Amino acid sequence: MSEKKSSLLLKNGRLIDAGQNLDGKFDIFLVDGKVKEVASDLDVVADQVIDLDGLWVLPGAIDLHVHLREPGYEYKETILSGAEAAVAGGFTSIACMANTYPINDNAAVTRFILEQARSAPAKVLPIAAISKGMQGEVLVEMGDLVEAGAVAFSDDGKTVPNSKLLRHALEYASLFDKPLLCHCQDDALFADGVIHEGMISAGHGLAGIPSLAEEIDIARTIMLAEYLKVSVHICHLSSRGGVELVRAAKARGVRVTAEATPHHLFLDERAVVDLAYREALDETVKPSMLCYNTNSKMSPPLRAAEDVAALRQALAEGTIDVVATDHAPHEATEKAVEYSLAPFGVIGLETALALALRLVQEGDLTLLQMVARMSLAPAAILGLDDRGTLAPGMAADLMIVDPEREWVVDPAKFQSKARNTPFTGWRLKGRVIKTIVDGRVVFSS
Ligand code: DOR
Ligand code: ZN
Ligand code: ZN
């Protein structure tokens, strides 16, 4: 006896789907968690019909770089709270980094994450570490981890300083057809730096992190991938020099992909002292906030204005394939300390979509490019062949956006447990009002 099929008809929305190269009014028929049909004026009988006149339908965003803190640091974020934040921001799949406690360097931790994720509203995809304990010495058992459900490998938070180990990791990851996501940083040059080495670090006496710290390591990583003829993914590009290395490698045919975060696309080193962003802030923001802000501290750091311009250009031309948040929750008291003592990291799941839309509003990206960077490209990198686009047969993962809705970023309203956003007080336009995963409405506002 077959179970009754559940169906949902989305009528009259504007579908923007890079995978099908569609931008226009379409009806979308979802049956049993999958897209059944996409056409204008569909005449079908459905269990539920939602009229989306004036609203947009986008494939669910896919974030290949988040930190969920469980196991071990549940006070910062749990798999559940992180997934709630994800769907509130239009993300239907999120891949979570291995720097938990214990580190996700063995099958038991990967299975634990998947078990916890069963009740989560978004798809949670575990990324396993590259090296045991992320110590950069011994390779993890990649085969075991793939079998347990790891979708990628990364020691994110740290580089893999040993080039021979990185070589082996690239070779094995390629054998298993899983991406290797590299946090590129030369540790000696990074040293005890806390912000970008430039105008603000010099003016405020804060230890600097030169762009060179990422550029040297990106160059090394690309050279290894090129030599081995395998693919590699570079996390959170922050500098113009890093962009140029990736651009040149792509031009030579190296299989390198790269991501940029919304914070690196919108903020520069001046965010450390907030002042430069006064014009972007809503008038309700109090002047007392205009002092140093540890929510501008992350790794890699916010760089100079010319770096931001280079990242935007690279995102538009496709040198940067993906927008990823690097959602890095920290508890409020951990950030409420002297700048140099604060942990690196900011959250991003609940602001990324509206910021990506702002790139479109500012004329830096087309809508279809934005959807490609948020859904199609990350699905391709993670090898999710039934997600990233809403073509018939694909999973019914999507978001419904009100493009006209204006809102002010207020961390108190986040689903995330954490509040450490650098975008507090920003007035943004475009809001996710519904998120659907596998055909089920998992978020509604
Ligand atoms: O800012 C960051 N925070 N960068 C990283 O690479 C790690 C992350 C974290 O885990 O907090
Ligand atoms: Zn990182
Ligand atoms: Zn990260």
CA distance 274 to 276: 6
Q: Degrees (nearest 5) of the Cα angle 75, 80, 83?
A: 115
Give mean pLDDT, residues 189-214: 96
Which ligand lies nearest to the CA atom of residue 65 in the structure? 3
Q: How far apart are CA 136 and CA 361, in angstroms?
A: 42
99 lines ligand 1 (CB under 6 A): yes
pTM: 0.96
pLDDT band at 286 (very low <50, low <70, confident <90, very high): low
Q: Which ligand is nearest to the CA of 66?
A: 3
Of 315 and 292, more confident: 315
Q: How far is CA 442 from CA 246, 318, 357, in A?
A: 37, 31, 22
Higher pLDDT, 283 or 213: 213
Distance between CA 284 and CA 291 in Å, rounded?
Answer: 16
- Other beta carbons within 10 angstroms of residue 40's beta carbon come to 10
- Rounded to a whole number of angstroms, the CA Rg of the chain reads 21
pLDDT band of residue 183 (cuts 50, 70, 90) is: very high
Burial 393-429 (b: 16+ CB within 10 A, else e): ebbbbbbbbbbeeeebbebeebbbbbbbbbbbbbebe
Predicted confidence at residue 297, as pLDDT, reads 97
Question: Given this model, what pLDDT does residue 1 score?
Answer: 42
* Rounded-to-integer distance, Cα 12 and Cα 141, Å: 49
* The pLDDT of residue 2 is above 50: no
Residue nearest to atom 4 of ligand 1 (CA): 299
What pLDDT, in 10s, does the model give residues 29-81? 999 999 999 999 999 999 999 999 999 999 999 999 999 999 999 999 999 99
**Is residue 378 within 8 Å of 322, Cβ to Cβ?**
yes
The helix/strand count (H/E) of the chain reads as: 14, 18
pLDDT at 224: 98
* Domain ranges within the chain, ordered by starting residue: 59-388
Q: What pLDDT, on the 0 to 100 scale, is given for residue 293?
A: 87
The response to whether residue 92 sits with its C-beta less than 6 Å from ligand 1 reads no
Q: For residues 196-214, give the mean pLDDT.
A: 95
Q: Which pLDDT value is given to residue 273?
A: 82
Q: Which of 307, 321, 326, 402 does the annotation list as catalytic?
A: 326
The three-class DSSP label of residue 6 is coil
**Helix 212-228 to helix 240-252 angle, to the nearest 10 degrees?**
10
Rounded Cα distance, 111 and 79, in Å: 13
The predicted-structure confidence for 291-307, as pLDDT tens digits, reads as follows: 788 999 999 999 999 99
Q: Domain 59-388: give its CATH architecture.
A: Alpha-Beta Barrel (3.20)
pLDDT tens string 96-117: 999 999 999 999 999 999 999 9
Residue 72 and residue 419: Cα distance in Å, rounded? Answer: 19
Question: Does the pLDDT of residue 283 top 70, yes or no?
Answer: no
212's tokens: 């060179």
Name the percent of the chain lying above pLDDT 70: 95
Dihedral sign computed on CA atoms, order 269, 273, 279, 280: positive
Amino acid present at 141: E
Is residue 67 within 6 Å of ligand 1 at its C-beta?
yes
**Residues 160-180: tens digit of each pLDDT:** 999 999 999 999 999 999 999
